[in-house]
């Protein structure tokens, strides 16, 4: 995905007319190119941890979504990654699925200390605060199945 420039960065979203802003949400200074997103502005996890960066994108036109993620160590070394198409069209559910698939991949590779980076504040709040911040529990059903492993 990286080599083919297939990562859906803010610059790519702006080019496709999906967003008016091509800038990086982390630093706000640079146009978020693929290299900027995965290298320049990436923040490393603590030693002994891995970082899972996930994202998802929904196309209402074709009623499908794509999700993907990458797992890197504290040196930024690529450890694992995934990409898949889902039939979901609700953004929150797509983000949940991206986190679940990413965690399953990290755990399958025996990484126990996983820092999650996702651009959905409600989802991160839901994970961090015990799933009480969302009223529609169906949306987080995939997470409730694995929440005993999330601290």
Dump the DSSP string for 52-64: EEEEEEEETTTTE
Spell out a b/e string for 15-35, using b for 16 or more CB atoms within 10 Å of the CB, else e.
eeeeeeebbbebeeebebbbe
Considering the domain architecture, whether residues 12 and 55 belong to the same structural domain is answered as no
Considering the domain architecture, whether residues 124 and 96 belong to the same structural domain is answered as yes
Considering the domain architecture, whether residues 56 and 79 belong to the same structural domain is answered as yes
Residues facing residue 70 across a β-bridge = 53, 81
Considering the domain architecture, whether residues 20 and 78 belong to the same structural domain is answered as no
Considering the domain architecture, whether residues 32 and 60 belong to the same structural domain is answered as no
Considering the domain architecture, whether residues 54 and 2 belong to the same structural domain is answered as no
Residue 39 carries which DSSP code? Answer: I
Considering the domain architecture, whether residues 21 and 56 belong to the same structural domain is answered as no
Considering the domain architecture, whether residues 106 and 35 belong to the same structural domain is answered as no
Considering the domain architecture, whether residues 53 and 35 belong to the same structural domain is answered as no
Domain count, the chain: 2
pLDDT tens column, 81-90: 999 998 888 8
**pLDDT on residue 71:** 96
Considering the domain architecture, whether residues 107 and 58 belong to the same structural domain is answered as yes
Residues of the chain with pLDDT under 70: 1-7, 29, 37-39, 130-151
**pLDDT on residue 1:** 43
Q: pTM to 2 decimals?
A: 0.72
**pLDDT on residue 38:** 66
Range of the domain at 92: 48-149
Percent of the chain with pLDDT over 90: 29
Mean pLDDT of the chain: 80
Considering the domain architecture, whether residues 30 and 62 belong to the same structural domain is answered as no
Helix (H) / strand (E) element for 102: namely: helix 91-108
């Amino acid at each position: 995905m990286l080599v083919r420039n297939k990562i859906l960065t803010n610059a790519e979203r702006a080019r496709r007319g999906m967003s008016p802003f091509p800038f990086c949400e982390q630093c706000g200074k640079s146009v978020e190119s693929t290299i900027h997103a995965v290298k320049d502005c990436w923040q490393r996890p603590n030693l002994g941890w891995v970082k899972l960066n996930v994202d998802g994108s929904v196309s209402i036109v074709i009623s499908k979504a794509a999700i993907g993620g990458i797992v890197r160590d504290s040196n930024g070394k690529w450890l694992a990654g995934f990409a898949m198409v889902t039939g979901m069209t609700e953004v929150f559910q797509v983000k949940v699925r991206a986190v679940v698939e990413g965690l399953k991949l990290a755990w399958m590779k025996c990484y126990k200390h996983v820092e999650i980076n996702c651009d959905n504040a409600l989802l991160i709040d839901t994970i961090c605060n015990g799933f009480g911040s969302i009223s529609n529990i169906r949306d987080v059903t995939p997470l409730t199945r694995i929440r005993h492993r999330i601290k």
